[in-house]
Each structure stands twice: as C-alpha cells, then as structure tokens.
Amino acid sequence: DRAYGFLALLVFHFAFLPFYWRTVLRDPWLVWIEAAIILATLTAVIVWMVRRRFASVSVKGEGRLERLLRDAFSKIQKVISLIEQQQPVTFWRAGLYSLIFVLLNGLAFWCYFAALGEYPDLSLIVYTSTLAAVVGALPVTVNGLGLMEAVYLLLLTPFGLGRESILLAAFLGRGL
C-alpha cells in the first residue's frame, strides 16, 4: 500500500509540475529537489524495466558497502515480487484510492489556509503538498518534520502567503 501511495504522490506531483515549473526555477533549492525526484523516478522506472535481471545480481565480499548493497538488492527484489503478486484489479483499486487520498490531503491543506483567511490556488496547494510529502519521505528526520515545512515555505512565500500562515497551516496538517 505504501508503494501505491507513493506512486499516487508522484502522479499528482508530475501532473502539476508543468504549471509551476517557472516557480521552481526561481529557487535553486527547488531545482535540486525536483532534479533529485526526477532522477530517482527515472531510476525506479529503469529498475522496474530490468527487474528480471535483479534475480541474478549477487554482491560478493564481506565489507560494509557489500552488506549494504546486498540488503538494498534484497529489499528491491522483495518489493518487486510483492507488486507482481497483486492482481491487476487490486493494483488499480489501490492506485485509485491512493490518488483520492492525495487529492483529499491537498484539499485539507487548502482548508487549513481558508480557516486562516488565506485563499491560495487549489492546484498550487495540491502540488506543494505532494512535493512536501515526497521530500518528507526522506529518512532524515522523524516524519519529515522540518523538511515538509521548508518546502511549504520555499514554494508558497513567492505567491504572497505569509510565513506565519504557511507554518500554522503545516502544523494544523500535522495535528499539532
């Protein structure tokens, strides 16, 4: 289910990216973040396309790097086999539910702004919430704390939203 949710995040994110590309290009941090997301997505697509070859991959050696690579290949193989075991109807249902969840999450974030008297564009908020969720999935802080708020600030301040409103909406979204 996490894989489907993450795929739904990426679908919405890439669907809205062309509309906000100029905004992304204004900030070097956003350019690097988007470049990393695009590169990671392309890497995942390539891995999926050559997934049959991963069965024959073996890493020799006993060092830390070798163990790390062996664990990574093992996890990739497990995720791929779990996805392949699903019935197509399960895949499409889970994908649809995940897309609805991502859209509702963006709508809820917009409602937090509306409760604060700010009315930004809904598509901007959905795009921002997907980018923040992707960045928040990085295993750097607990539950992406601080990372997501930084993305909100980077993307929404150029559109005239106040920092206080952005952070308050972010904290409301976290249930704080």
The 3-state secondary structure of the chain, one letter per residue: CHHHHHHHHHHHHHHHHHHHHHHHHCCHHHHHHHHHHHHHHHHHHHHHHCHHHHHHCCCCCCCHHHHHHHHHHHHHHHHHHHHHHCCHHHHHHHHHHHHHHHHHHHHHHHHHHHHCCCCCCHHHHHHHHHHHHHHHCCCCCHHHCCHHHHHHHHHHHHHCCCHHHHHHHHHHHHCC
Whether the predicted model's global pTM rises above the 0.85 cut: no
- Percent of the chain's residues with pLDDT above 70: 93
Between residues 141 and 35, the one the model is more confident about? 35
User: At 1, is the pLDDT very low, low, confident or very high (cuts 50, 70, 90)?
Assistant: low
pLDDT, tens digit, 9 for 90 and up, residues 131-153: 998 888 888 888 778 899 999 99
